[in-house]
Structure 1
Amino acid sequence: MTLLLVHGLTGGRWGVAAGPILRPLAAMMPLVTVAFVPILASLTSIYPWAADPGSVKPDVASWYLSQPSFILRALVALVGWSVLGVTFAVGAGGRLLAALGLSFFGLMISTVAVDWFLSVEPHYVATAFPAMMAVQQMMAALAVVAMLGTLELEDGAASDIASLIIATLLGVVYLEYMTFVVAWYGDLPHKAHWFLKRSTDPWGAALVVAFAAGAVLPFAMLLLRKTRRSRAGLRIVGVLLLIGTTMHLAWLIVPAFAAQTKVAVTGIGLLVVLTFAAILFGRGTTFAEARRAE
């Protein structure tokens, strides 16, 4: 959705080439709203501030971290993104709506990143976290384009998409690294505790693998012109980025819970189900477009 909004403002051959992949995916935004229903039904099992409002400062709990305000912000984000996703998926959005939509996305990703991710451990804050999540979302979308859309990409468009992947990849790594550096020099106990839980043997290894497979290797491959113009090379880069993104998100979220194995297994299962659903939805949309063209 965000990449379609960006292309609606800037234009470019990359967006034209990536459109057949991006539009069906953007049209799936209403399904994300459906997938969020189990989260709303399990707030007290997921978020400590919902189970025990006394675990955070009273002024914060009563004004921001409360169930009614959390649900309201989630609904505003999901409904707004769904409208934008479907609108631009069918090609009905103009430049003005794209500009307003990007502004809306920037506002709502700031609340969503805090609400859905950071509030799992409400004592930890990171001002760069929302920006990192936004850039990582765009990188993941570009990875899907590289993995699925390379058969339709011309050499010039493929090179443009590879350059965008490099830019978003560097953005994710920079924002994550600077978050760590700021926390390190701040030397604050609550921030140190957040990182210490994620530096144990299994999670430290997971972060190293995510960095190597999802950042270093794709970046090195994309520095080669042959890879940037290779369909097979871009597919490999896309797969590596999605693996790295999945491991990075697991590193961010799973250590916050006591039953880490159950959470990881549940997350992997849901990811598999949503992946197959996305593939079937995309094929169905492509088939419908082909029938209309005939």
Structure 2
Amino acid sequence: MRCRSSLALSLLLAAAGGAACAAGALVDPQAVLRGWLASLAFWIGLPLGAMMLLFAHDLTGGRWGAAAVPPLRAMVAALPLALLLLLPVLVWLPQIYPWARPEEAAHLRNQFYLNTPFFLARAATYAVVWLLLAWAALRRPGTGANPVAAPGLILLGLTGSFAAVDWMMSVEPDWGSSIYGMMIISGQLLGALALATLAAVLGGRPDGGRVDGGRVDPGQRNDLGSLLIAAVLLWFYLSFMQFLIVWQENLPQEITWYVRRLAGGWGWTAVLGALAQGAVPFLALVWWPVKRSRRGLAAVCALLLAAHLMECWWLILPGLEGGFTWFAPAAALAMGGAGAAVFLRRLGRRGAGRAPARAADGHVAAPAALPDGARHG
């Protein structure tokens, strides 16, 4: 009953956000597209980050998978929907990207890369690769290691970096950063891990039990909290290094990117994001009672997800004429409601809820001891 009510609420929120965007498209379609792209950067990153974490768990194992793998698989199942939500951006490219407007692209030196046919071909390539990897992640072999895990991680790293450059960085085609793709991927990993941890701890009972038969005990919560610390540090390091290098070089063609994002309200957004996605979660998670607490860990994960959404807006909207409008939250609501419906439906299925078997010491059992070949979840 609880799952059905959550599913109904998700669909209601999706309908409300979609109706707001549809009405706004009649008045200011460019504003809606800006908010749509900025919010899509958040939602499409969750299944991509989830796939990376699934492949990493296939390679390394660990008891954290008993709690995190089911929601990670549910996130990957939402990838086709996220790719479908990309279509409005691809159809109305000139409304968003300056390089797609011939009169503004004439002075660009990278037209060989930033042009509509090649852009669409790359987007189709990313979609095909990701869908095949998602199929491999969800239809993994019954026993033994997943042979797709290692090459899958490499492909996700490459395609994810290029997609970040294409869909996010190219809103300002005169600016470039070699660390940008890795920074975006670190945010995707952090967001996916935060959502998986949130779903795991909220899906369990206070005594650590889960309706689906798995266990989210204090030890697993401690492991998930430690992984979140590592993800926070990775994101903070890459974000700060890009800022430090660009600011130290002090070149006009590079520093203007940060000037736009540190002026006015966007500057406060940057400070708040650094605190909410970096300092505050780190300081909370290094205190072990928070890592072992359901409520404490859930609060940190919710803060990380909200901060990551705000970061995606901060990365894209200042570079577009018109900046932030309330269509960005409306688009986030529409996408989030639809994605949550897919996520909850998949997570509620018996196959998605099956967790890895664990030995008496709390570690994942050997492959031979797992029923139905559910190694690592």
Q: CA deviation at 1:249?
A: 1.4
Inter-CA distance 292–177: structure 2 relative to 1 (3 Å threshold) = closer
Stretches (4+) displaced over 3 A: 90-94, 290-293
1:289 to 322, 325, 350: 350
Whether 1:137 aligns to 2:188 is yes
Which structure is higher in helix share?
1
Shift of 1:140: 0.2
Q: CA deviation at 1:291?
A: 11
1:8 to 58, 65, 84: 58
Contact 1:23 1:90 survives alignment (8 Å): no
Of 276-285 and 88-97, more deviation after overlay is shown by: 88-97
Could you say what secondary structure the match of 1:260 adopts? coil
Larger Rg over CA atoms? 2
Please tell me the root mean square deviation across aligned C-alpha atoms, in Å. 1.8
Aligned counterpart, 1:20: 70
Counterpart position of 1:204: 267
Secondary structure of the residue aligned to 1:95 is coil
Call closer, same or farther: CA 1:86–1:269 in 2, change over 3 Å.
farther
Separation in 2, partners of 1:228, 1:83: 35
Mapping for residues 154-165 of structure 1, pairs under 5 Å:
154-165=217-228
Please report the TM-score for the alignment, with normalisation by the length of structure 2: 0.73
Q: Deviations over 1:8-39 (max 9, x none)?
A: 11111112321111111111111121011001
Q: Does 1:117 align with 2:180?
A: no
Write the distance in 2 (CA, Å) between the matches of 1:214 and 1:166: 11
Count of residue correspondences: 288
Instruction: Assess, with a 3 A threshold, how the Cα gap between structure 1 residues 194 and 291 changes in structure 2: closer, same or farther.
Output: closer
- Secondary structure (helix, strand or coil) at the match of 2:324 reads helix
Change (3 A) 1:287 1:246: closer
Point out where structure 2 has 5 or more consecutive residues left out of the alignment.
1-50, 205-209, 211-215, 355-377
Gap runs ≥5 in structure 1: none
The aligned residue for residue 308 of structure 2 is 245
Q: Partner amino acid for 2:244?
A: V
Identity, % of aligned pairs? Answer: 33
Q: Is 1:107 paired with 2:158?
A: yes
- Measure, in 1, the Cα distance between the counterparts of 2:289 and 2:82: 37
Could you tell me how far apart the structure 1 residues matched to 2:353 and 2:178 are? 47
Q: Which residue of 2 aligns with 1:85?
A: 134
CA-to-partner distance for each residue in 1:123-181, whole Å, 9 max, x for gaps? 11111111111111010011102222112522222111111111111111111111111
Cα distance in structure 2, aligned partners of 1:291 and 1:18: 11
Q: 2 CA distance for matches of 1:260 and 1:238?
A: 28
Return the TM-score normalized by structure 1: 0.93
Partner Cα separation in structure 2 for residue 290 and residue 91 of structure 1? 13
Change over 3 Å in CA distance of 1:55–1:156 after alignment to 2: farther
